[in-house]
Structure 1
Amino acid sequence: MQFSSSLCRGQLIRRYKRFLADVIHQDSSPEAPLTIHCPNTGKMTGCAEPGWTVYFSTSDNQKRKYAHTWELVENQRGDFICVNTARANLLVGEALEQKRIPQLAQYGDIRAEVRYGNEGSRIDFLLSGGVEPVCYVEVKSVTLLDESEGEMTGQGYFPDTESLRAQKHVRELIDCVNNGHRAVLLFCVLHTGIERVSPASHLDSAYGALVAEALAAGVECLAWRADISPGGMQLVQALPFDMHVNNGA
């Protein structure tokens, strides 16, 4: 996946009001920073430190209040992190079309954002055609890297805070399996420093318990990491998914 326009580079001053960030770039100053849109509603722990290098895209839509969108950040170790969570589904959709995820390559028909379930959800991808049963794929964007005691461990977590929405999606996947379908929880890792993934039970114990229940029911958990640069992104590597991690909680 290539970005539709060349990304501009700047330095983060602050992220605020969830959807806004102030940055310094070549045409601005700390006294008159550029305000850009932040397309991430999460806590963004370890993804939004003042002084870090940010990369943002520019839209030619004259109706937008903020023409620029925050796409990437580079941490102090040189890891690239994609903070635009909408990119996760685009990356997974591209990988599915190109048959680059072996466990899901046998399906001929790929549909996105299909309504399903008892709780009014939309599945990210519904796969069918050629094999049975149909497969429901829920995508989660992973950017939280464990930095306990100041060390980079390579351990990634989802979610980065309590998430009732994420809990609902796991319940829906369990129902899919119980109804005779295949269900996959696909963790799209958008942080180049993450080497393995686990549910963040220390931040959302209910979510951790639901994932354990889902695995026992037959829901599959996959983790794939993206190669990320200001030029573009692509899912390139399967990562281990570990249900139980000693996170010091």
Structure 2
Amino acid sequence: MITYPNVHLAHFIDRPNRFIAECRLQKTGEMVTVHVKNTGRCKELFYPEVEVALTYQPSPKRKTDYDLIAVKKGTDWFNIDSQVPNALAAKAIKDGIITLPDLNGKIVSVKREKRFAHSKFDILVETDTGKQAFVEVKGMTLENHSLGAFPDAPTLRGLKHVTELIEAMKEGYQSYVLFVVQFEKIELATIHTDMQPALAQMILSGQKQGLSVIAYNCSVTPDTIAIEHQVPFDVTKMFEDPNSER
């Protein structure tokens, strides 16, 4: 579990650009400019007056004193911190909460940010059989009718990562894509094919060659996020974008 310090509830007002938002603190009514810890669109989450969670992190080196970390959608909290999935995944793999299917051997080390070709993969796992496996972690915040999808905007970086994970397998590595679903109520995870057809095609091609794609959901409160359990992933499941009319 990751716990955020100094969390304040607020209401979202506006998002002038992808880096900042204007919010109103619930306790005082003060208007504050906050850093949004996710550069994705998140249009289905950010409605005027929606409840949000801010962590107060003042520093002379910062332009804003608050970070926006979570949004309430209906009765459920969605964590949108794009930096948290990697930390959650690394610890959960070490602790055995996340299991890597068909991994050759028992895990003896979990290392962060290891280079291969033109990519820097999030995690390198080493086993007692001498096998190495790359794990590329992607946060998932897009949801519609309990179906989660990635991405919410085209990602050339994500496509490159999947392509090079496939190349790594040809050199003897095992390769995994791990989606950390940053909300709890989900029945199935998929790729948002209409948003990025090439990514869906590459995922499907990779799976046929031995690429493992797995997803785990999270329990989320305004100030915490924790890995819960594995959820099914099906790249062929079509996703209806809730933002298509916005």
Tell me whether the two structures share a fold, i.e. TM-score over 0.5: yes
Q: Secondary structure at the match of 2:48?
A: coil
Find the aligned partners of 2:226 and 2:21 in 1 and give their Cα distance: 26
Return the letter of the residue paired with 1:106. Answer: K
Give the TM-score taking structure 2 as reference length. Answer: 0.91
> 2:173 maps to what in 1?
181
Is the aligned partner of 1:82 residue 2:83? Answer: no
Match of 1:97 among 87, 94, 98: 94
Q: Secondary structure at the match of 1:222?
A: strand
The 10-residue stretch of structure 1 (156-165 or 188-197) with the greater mean CA deviation from structure 2: 188-197
Consecutive unaligned residues of structure 2, counting only runs of 5 or more, are 242-246
Return the offset for 1:230. Answer: 2.2
Q: Structure 1 segments of 4 or more deviating over 4 A?
A: none
Is the aligned partner of 1:21 residue 2:21? Answer: yes
Find the aligned partners of 2:97 and 2:52 in 1 and give their Cα distance: 29
> 2:164 maps to what in 1?
172
Match of 2:150 among 142, 158, 163: 158
Match of 1:197 among 189, 201, 209: 189
Could you tell me whether the CA contact under 8 Å between 2:5 and 2:223 is conserved in 1? no
Summarize the Cα distance change of 1:248–1:195 in structure 2 as closer, same or farther, 3 Å threshold: closer
Q: Secondary structure at the match of 1:21?
A: strand
Could you tell me whether the CA contact under 8 Å between 1:139 and 1:186 is conserved in 2? yes
Summarize the Cα distance change of 1:93–1:68 in structure 2 as closer, same or farther, 3 Å threshold: same
Q: Secondary structure at the match of 2:3?
A: coil
Find the aligned partners of 1:60 and 1:14 in 2 and give their Cα distance: 21
Could you tell me whether the CA contact under 8 Å between 2:141 and 2:148 is conserved in 1? yes
Could you tell me whether the CA contact under 8 Å between 2:217 and 2:231 is conserved in 1? yes
Could you tell me whether the CA contact under 8 Å between 2:106 and 2:128 is conserved in 1? yes
Q: Secondary structure at the match of 2:177?
A: strand
Q: Secondary structure at the match of 1:15?
A: strand
Return the letter of the residue paired with 2:138. Answer: K
Summarize the Cα distance change of 1:62–1:248 in structure 2 as closer, same or farther, 3 Å threshold: closer
Could you tell me whether the CA contact under 8 Å between 2:184 and 2:218 is conserved in 1? yes
Return the offset for 1:85. Answer: 0.7
CA-based RMSD of the aligned residues comes to 1.7
Q: Deviations over 1:178-233 (max 9, x none)?
A: 11110000010002233210111111001111101110111000000011112411
Match of 1:130 among 121, 128, 131: 128
Could you tell me whether the CA contact under 8 Å between 1:178 and 1:217 is conserved in 2? no
Overall identity of the aligned pairs, in %:
25
Return the letter of the residue paired with 1:87. Answer: V
Q: How many residues align?
A: 237
Higher strand share: 2
The 10-residue stretch of structure 1 (104-113 or 220-229) with the greater mean CA deviation from structure 2: 104-113
> 1:150 maps to what in 2?
none
